Amino acid sequence: MDQWYRIDNTGKIFHAVSDGTNSSVFRVSMILNEKIEPEYLQEALNITAVRFPTLTVRVRKGLFWDFMEHNDEQLVVKKETEHPCTPIDRKENNAYLIRVLYFEKRISVEIFHSLTDGGGAVEFLKTLIYQYLKEKGEAVDMEGLVLDPDETPMPEEMEDSFEKHATSHAMKRPGKRPGKAYQIQGTAFDPPGINVIHGVIDAGRLNAFSKKRGTTVTGLLTSLMIEVVHDEKMAKDLTDGQVSIALPISLRKQFPSITLRNFFSVANIGVQMDGYMHLEDIIQDVTDQLIKKTDKDTLQAGINRFVSLQKSFWIRGVPVFIKYPLMKFGFNQIGERAKTMTLSNLGNTRLPESMKPHVDRMEVILYPTRKSPINCGLGTVNDRLTITFARSIEEREIIQEFFKRLRKMTGLDVMVYSNEWGEDE
């Protein structure tokens, strides 16, 4: 009998909410120092795919929930030809919800969010690149930082860590419904697509700068983003809703887990700004909120609330064709309306010393949605942080202003480049 898996608690939401304006497909990439050789990449993928059974699955329809089962088809590497994070066509992709792309020196892994989060995707990408370098005959070693592609997966890698760490399944009344956040307006690309603009900065020096201001890199960049979007909002004489940034928070540190499935929470960070506020005041407010909202007790309450909701009768006992539209409506009314944009920081990816000379930098691309037409992904490797904005609208002033102020504030060089998709020739 084929191995099958329940979709994890978070993954169920992405099945319900994805559509043409919300692909729920995100990307992690590494840019190597030499042009990619696709035949070696395919050999590496053939081996790596077996090591990550919960990512290399097909989805089957069930009456009450969809479920995943082992996929025997080959997962084929493809040369990148479209814009990032396009919806995954299961028929074209041998029913997989993951794809591996290459272009020039870049290897990209794009994953439908129901399978895993950024943490799981990075583990897959590290192993894939390790095996790729090995196939090429490079002398690389795992050094305890890469999952061994020849090892059998551990059961803990496949667990639903929400279920494991929930301490109560009792339904609790939901808290106060979050207010409607300010939402960025713009002219949608025609035809629809995603433009990405990357900025590369020295991670160590930015971290030192952030510490001097009593915050983290995430705190600093979130604060700057709030200031830039707020100023744009005021320039347009718009007063509806405060700027609120949704920050996905990995739960693996506070709740020890090596799961390769989804295991994260989301903290909405919003600053009530009446007119002009100094950036230092925004940083203080954002940092205080980050400390409070990433406190273990707060995160535990969120896990409990999430699991109890999934176990409630009206969720479990209702067929998918009724449940998914209801979940989508709830997501749009509560999740999407409460944020201006998402900023996801995957943190510092540690590579073995033997792999470092082969890797230049990484990129994290977070799909935009109809209500969040600009989103931001952060990824660091080899002491280089890449800040990536993905947008589905023509307007890019917010992004340009962000990088301009980042340079001015820190005095650091920022190398900016773009895929130039959808821009005028």
Same domain, 69 and 118: yes
Q: At 54, list the tokens.
A: 């919960």
Give the pLDDT of residue 425: 42
In a domain, 186, yes or no: no
Same domain, 107 and 215: no
Residue 348: which H helix or E strand, with range? strand 341-349
CB 55 within 8 A of CB 98: yes
How remote is the C-alpha of 109 from its chain's centroid? 12
How many structural domains comprise the chain? 2
The one-character DSSP state at 335 is I
Amino acid at 411: G
How many C-beta neighbours within 10 Å does residue 423 have? 11
> What does the pLDDT read at residue 169?
64
Which one of 136, 160, 184 terminates a domain?
160
- Residues 91, 155, single domain; the answer is yes
And the tokens for 141? Answer: 């070693």
Regarding whether 212 and 274 lie in a shared domain, the answer is yes
Do 11 and 151 reside in the same domain of the chain?
A: yes
Residue 394 and residue 245 in one domain: yes
Identify whether residues 30 and 74 lie together within a single domain. yes
**Residue 207: which H helix or E strand, with range?**
helix 203-212
pTM of the model: 0.91
CATH number of 330's domain? 3.30.559.30
Task: Answer yes or no: do 149 and 250 share one domain.
Answer: no
Domain range for 220: 195-418
Residue at 171 is within a domain: no
Alpha carbon distance 400, 409 (integer Å): 14
Among the candidates 114, 136, 160, a domain finishes at 160
Contact (Cβ atoms closer than 8 angstroms) between residue 384 and residue 408: no
91 within domain boundaries: yes
Are 396 and 254 contained in the same domain? yes
* Residues 121, 231 within the same domain: no
Tell me whether residue 177 is in a domain.
no
Considering the domain boundaries, does residue 174 fall inside one? no
Compute mean pLDDT per 10 residues along the chain, 425 residues long, and list them.
Answer: 52 51 83 98 97 84 59 92 88 87 98 92 98 98 97 93 85 64 93 95 98 98 96 81 93 95 93 82 97 95 82 58 55 72 97 98 95 96 98 96 98 95 65
What was the pLDDT predicted at 308? 78
